[in-house]
Amino acid sequence: MSSHQILQFRSDPFVVSPCCLHICPKVSPNHPFPSLPFQRRRSHHAGVRSSAKKKTHCNLKNETPATETAKRVYPFHEIEPKWQRYWEDNRTFRTPDDVDTSKPKFYVLDMFPYPSGAGLHVGHPLGYTATDILARLRRMQGYNVLHPMGWDAFGLPAEQYAIETGTHPKTTTLKNIDRFRLQLKSLGFSYDWDRELSTTEPDYYKWTQWIFLQLYKRGLAYQAEVPVNWCPALGTVLANEEVVDGVSERGGHPVIRKPMRQWMLKITAYADRLLEDLDELEWPESIKEMQRNWIGRSEGAELDFTVLDGEGQETDKGITVYTTRPDTLFGATYMVVAPEHHLLSYFVTPEQKQQVEEYKDFASRKSDLERTELQKEKTGVFTGCYAKNPANGEAIPIWVADYVLASYGTGAIMAVPAHDTRDNEFALKYNIPIKWVVRNEASSSDEVYPGMGIIENSSSVETGLDINQLSSKEAALKVIEWAERTGNGKKKVNYKLRDWLFARQRYWGEPIPILILDESGETIAVSESELPLTLPELNDFTPTGTGEPPLSKAVSWVNTVDPATGKPAKRETSTMPQWAGSCWYYLRFMDPKNPEALVDKEKEKYWSPVDVYVGGAEHAVLHLLYSRFWHKVLYDIGVVSTKEPFKCVINQGIILGEVQYTAWKDQEGNYVSADTEERLNEYQQVTIPEDKVMKSGDHFVLKEDASFRLIPRAYKMSKSRGNVVNPDDVVLEYGADSLRLYEMFMGPFRDSKTWNTSGIEGVHRFLARTWRLVIGSPQPDGSFKDGTVVTDDEPTLEQLRSLHKCIAKVTEEIESTRFNTGISGMMEFVNAAYKWNNQPRGIIEPFVLLLSPYAPHMAEELWSRLGHSSSLAYESFPKANPDYLKDTTIVLPVQINGKTRGTIEVEEGCSEDEAFSLASQDKKLEKYLDGQSIKKRIYVPGKILNVILNKTNVKVTTK
C-alpha cells in the first residue's frame, strides 16, 4: 500500500560488496546473496552437534589482536540463506487451513505494499520486523498465528510505465512482485507464503467486484453528476487527496473542476457508525481524532431566508443555510452562497451578472482546500440581491464567495461577522456592517468573538422571537424550536464526510461489473456467476484525453448484450480506484483460495478481527476509513462477524535519511558561518561530508576551521537528495539479522528516527559478540569451530538472575511494542555473560529463544548447534521465574583504615573486586582512595569492605 506511488525503476546494476566496500559491477541487485569471497564456505546442517555437550571454557580474554578483524563478524552470509531455505523447504510458517481452534489466535498484519519498481526501502522492514517479532513471539507462546503478505498491485505507476514503454502493466507488476518477494524473504520474515495474494489476480478481484455488486444492490453504489478533479494531462479524474495545490500529486499537472457522471459509494450512510465505533478501538488517539475530524459531525440548524426582489419585495425563492450557531441569527448581516449554488443564476441582478460569472470562473480553478484555507485572503462579489432575515425581517445583502463550498451543508451561509472569523475578515474587506450579539468576559466590543456567551441585541417585536439574556446553548435550542414552529427551518446534523468517488478513467484497475443498456442508459449488474469480469488485453494504454477511459478502446469487450433480455449494452469502462483492493484483503488472507466465497464463515469467525495492524500514519484516514466502511457493509449482510476489522492499529515512525551537514558559501567561495547575522538564504548551500565535520560544544563546525558553524539536518529519504538507503546493501554488508535488529534499536517504534550507519555496526557487533559467547573465539584463519562452548554445568544463582531479568524484560518490552528496550535487555545479558567463566546450557538455551524473534537466523543456527534437530519457531518462549527477579542489591558500608567513610550499593554476592571498584568510583569515597597505595582489603560479603592504606602514602592529586 502506498500513498506515494512514484514510478521508480532501479537502473544501476551496482551494489556495495561486503568485502571491501568497493563497487562490484554485475552483482545483481535482485539477488540478495551472491556468492561471497569473504569467508571460507563451509556446509552447515540443521542437524545435531554433539560437541555441544563437551565442557569447554569460553576464553575470550585471551583473544589476540590478530583475530581482531575476524572477531567483528560471524558467518551471517552462510547462516541466513541456509535458514531461509530451511523455512521455505519445511513451510515452517504455514498456518494450516484446519488449525486447532481451541487454541488462542493471533492475527498480525502489515499494510501490504504497493510493489513499486524501486523495490523495498528501509522504511518497509521497520514495520515488517515489528510484526514479525510479534508473530514469532506469539507462535512460541502457543497461539495459532496468521501472518500473511501480499501485494496491493493495481495503480497508476505501472500504467504510466506502460504508456511510456509499451510494457504491459501486468508484466511490470509481476516483475516488481518477484523482486519484493525475494527481498522480503532475504530478511527472514515468517510469513505464510502459501497465503500470498495480489489484488490484480482475477481470483482475488472477483471478490472485490462481488462486494461492489452487494453495494450496488443496496443502493450504496450509485452514479451522480459531480464536480470532479479533471487532470487533462493524465486524462483522468483524480481524488481530492491526489491533488496538491491545484496540480496532480503525481507529475504536477494542472487540475480543473469539471462536472462528470461518476460512480459514487455512499459512505455517508455509515457516518454515524464509523464515528461511534471508533470508541471501542485500541488505535492511536491521533488517528481516531483524524477520523472524527474527517467524518466531521456537527449539530446545528437549517434556516430559511426569503429572497427579496429589486424593490425589496419577497419572492417565492428561498435560500436555506446551514449553521452550527443558530444563537447568532440576529447577528447575520449578510449571506453568502457558493459560486456553484444551484439558485445563483435566479437571483443575480442583470447589473451584477457579468461580475458574478467572472467570479464563478475564477473560483472553478481552485481546489476546495485552497478555497477554505484560513490564511488565504477572502474574495467575493455582491449579487445585487437581498434576503430577509427570518428572525427580525431585516434585508441583508447576498454575496457569492468561494470560502463557502457547494459540497457542504446547503452551499449557503448566514454570515455573522461579529462571531465568525472568516465572515469578520470578509465584512471588514467589503465594508459590511458587524453586529455583536454574544458577550462574555473574554469578548471585546470591536473584535470578532467566536465563543459562546450570553445573548444580547436579539429580539424582534415583529416576529416575537426574543433570546436576549439566554446562554448560547439555550438560545440555539430556542431558535430551532421557533424555526420549526413557524416553518422557518429545522434541526440538522451535518457531516464533512462526502460520498466516495469510486471510478477512475484508467486501465490498470478492477473493471466495474456493470452494463449500461444502449437504449435506455439503464445500469444493470453483471451476474455474480459471471465474475470475475476480467480486464481485457490492451496494447494501447494511453488515455483517450476526452475523459473516456482507455478501456473504451477494447471495443469487442465493451459492446455486449444484457443476458436477460438480449438487448444491446455496453460495459462500464471506468475502473475502480486503487483503494478498492486494500479494503478487504485482510479477510481473504483467512481463506485465500476459496472459490465459493470471499471467506469461509467459520474461518472468518475464528480469525477476525485483525489483532494488530501495523503501517504508516499516512493511511490514518482514507484506507482505514474505507476498509471500515466496507467491513460494516459486509457485517450487515452477514459475511463477517465483527463490527470492526482492526482491533489495534500501530503506526511506525518514518525513517529519515542520515544527518546531512549544510554549510554556506559567499560568491567568492568563502564559507559563511550558519550563525551569521546576515540572511543565509542569500548564500550558496553546500553539503559537507561527515568526516569534515566535528562537534564543538552544542554545535557542529567545519573541521578545517571551527569558527564556521554548520546546520545538521535529517531529511526524508528521497532519490533526489541521494540519501536513500537500500536494504539489499545493508543485508549484504551486515546481514538480515543486523538490519532487523538495527531497525528495532533505532528508537521508539512509533517515533521518527534518523538512519545512522554506525548504529548498524553497533548492533552487528552485539550479534557477533553473542555468536562468540556461544560458539567461542574464531580460529586463527577467522573461521569458527562447529558446535558450541556451552557446558552442562548447573547455572549459578547470579546466572539465573541475569537470565530471568532478561526474560522478563524482553517479554514485557515486546508485548508493549518497545522493541528497542527489549534489545537493551539482551545486550545487558550478554555483557553480564561475558564475565562468567562458563556458559551453562540452562542459561544459553533460553537466551537463544529470547533472541529468536529479533534475530531468527542466528538463533536458529545456535539452536541447531546446541543439539536440536528442528526449528525453534514453535519452542515454548521462556517464562520469567519471579523468584529470580527480586531486588538483590544491598547497601555495603565502606571503611578506610577502619573508619566508616561511606556506603555503596552492590549486588548481593558481589565479588571483592567489584565492591572495591564501585567504592573507588564513589564520589564520597574517591577522595580517600584516589592515588593511594593499598596495603590490604578486608571484605566480608554482604557486611563490610575495609580498605587499609599504606601509611607512607603521599596524596597524589590529579586535578
**Which residues form the interface with ligand ANZ (CB under 6 A)?**
298, 322-325, 328, 404-405, 408-409, 411, 413-414, 416, 419-420, 450, 494
Q: How many CB atoms lie within 10 A of CB 865?
A: 24
The count of other CB atoms within 10 Å of the CB of residue 945 is 23
| Residue number with CB closer to ligand ANZ (29 or 300) | 300
Identity of the residue, 132 or 302, whose beta carbon is nearer to ligand ANZ in the bound complex: 302
Complex with ligand ANZ: residue 233 or 290, whichever CB lies closer? 290
Three-state SS annotation for 361-375: HHHHCCCHHHHHCCC
CB of 449 to ligand ANZ, least distance (A): 8
User: How would you write 269-307 as a 3-class SS string?
Assistant: HHHHHHHHHHHHCECCHHHHHHHHHHHCCEEEEEEEEEE
| Cβ-based nearer residue to ligand ANZ, 348 or 414 | 414
**Between 85 and 292, CB nearer to ligand ANZ:** 292
Helix residue ranges per DSSP H, 57-105: 68-71, 76-90
Our CB check for ligand ANZ shows the closer of 450 and 842 to be: 450
Separation between Cα atoms, residue 228 and residue 224, nearest integer Å: 11
Q: In the bound complex, what is the minimum distance in angstroms from residue 483's beta carbon to ligand ANZ? A: 14
Determine if the peptide bond prior to 125 is cis (ω within 30°): no
Shortest distance, CB of residue 328 to ligand ANZ, whole angstroms? Answer: 4
Question: What SS3 class is residue 492?
Answer: strand
What is the smallest separation between the CB atom of 421 and ligand ANZ, expressed in angstroms?
8
Spatial CA neighbour of 811 closest among 862, 776, 854, 850:
850
Q: How many CB atoms lie within 10 A of CB 11?
A: 6
Helices (H), 34-98: 68-71, 76-90
Query: Which CB, 175 or 496, lies closer to ligand ANZ?
Result: 496
Report d(CA 513, CA 551) in Å as an integer: 13
- Least distance between ligand ANZ and beta carbon 479 (Å): 11
Burial environment of residue 841 by CB neighbours within 10 A (0 to 12, 13 to 18, 19 or more): middle
Query: Quick one: 878 exposed, middle or buried, by C-beta within 10 A (0-12, 13-18, 19+)?
Result: buried
The nearer residue to ligand ANZ, 325 or 588, going by C-beta atoms, is 325
Alpha carbon 837 to chain centroid distance?
Answer: 46
Helix (H) or strand (E) holding 417: none
User: Could you tell me the smallest distance in angstroms from the CB atom of residue 417 to ligand ANZ?
Assistant: 9
Instruction: Write down the least CB distance from residue 374 to ligand ANZ, Å.
Output: 12
Question: Which pairing describes strands 684-688 and 660-665: parallel, antiparallel, or unpaired?
Answer: antiparallel
| Nearest to ligand ANZ of 340, 737 (CB atom) | 340
Q: What angle is formed at CA 238 by the lines to CA 234 and CA 241, rounded to 5 degrees?
A: 130
- CB closer to ligand ANZ, 458 vs 777: 458
Residue 108 backbone phi and psi in degrees, to 5: -120, 125
Least CB distance to ligand ANZ at residue 381 (A): 16
Question: Which of 588, 581, 640 is closest to 195 using CA atoms?
Answer: 588
Residue of 189, 78, 63 whose CA lies nearest to 136: 189
Find the shortest distance in angstroms from Cβ 522 to ligand ANZ: 33
Give the SS3 label for residue 767. Answer: helix
> What's CA 84's distance to the chain center, in Å?
27
Closest separation between CB of residue 677 and ligand ANZ, Å? Answer: 45
Q: Which is nearer to ligand ANZ, 474 or 548 (CB)?
A: 474
Q: Contact, 665 vs 671, CB < 8 A?
A: yes
Distance CA 457, CA 873 (A): 75
Angle between helices 622-636 and 202-217 (to 10 degrees): 70
The answer to whether residues 193 and 95 touch, using CB atoms and an 8 Å cutoff, is: no
Q: Which is nearer to ligand ANZ, 70 or 438 (CB)?
A: 438
**CB of residue 420 vs ligand ANZ: minimum separation in angstroms?**
4
Minimum CB distance to ligand ANZ, residue 579 (Å): 25
Closest approach, Cβ 299 to ligand ANZ, in A, equals 9
**Smaller CB separation from ligand ANZ, 87 or 436:** 436
3-state secondary structure at position 651 = strand
Q: What angle do CA 758, 764, 767 make, to 5 degrees?
A: 155
Question: Minimum CB separation from ligand ANZ for residue 189, in Å?
Answer: 44
Sequence-ordered strand ranges (E) for 103-156: 105-110, 144-146, 150-151
Residue ranges in 463-615 assigned as alpha helix (H)? 472-486, 555-558, 585-588, 601-607
Strand partners, 223: 263
Q: Between residues 378 and 419, which has the closer beta carbon with respect to ligand ANZ? A: 419
> Grid coordinates in use for 894?
565502606
- CB closer to ligand ANZ, 323 vs 839: 323
CB 274, min distance to ligand ANZ, A: 17
CB of 392 to ligand ANZ, least distance (A): 15
Find out whether 401 and 356 touch, Cβ atoms under 8 Å: no
Whether the Cβ atoms of residue 340 and residue 406 lie closer than 8 Å to each other:
yes
Assigned C-alpha cell, 363: 473560483
Cβ 397 to ligand ANZ shortest distance, Å: 16
How many whole angstroms separate alpha carbon 284 and alpha carbon 276?
Answer: 16
β partners of residue 396: 387
Q: Which is nearer to ligand ANZ, 420 or 611 (CB)?
A: 420
Based on CB atoms, which residue is closest to ligand ANZ, 328 or 770?
328
Query: Smallest distance, Å, CB 319 to ligand ANZ?
Result: 12
DSSP per residue, 326-342? GGGGGG--EEEE-TT-T
Buried b (16+ CB within 10 A) or exposed e, 747-774: bebeeebbbeeebbeebbebbbbbbbbb
Nearer to ligand ANZ, 263 or 322 (CB): 322
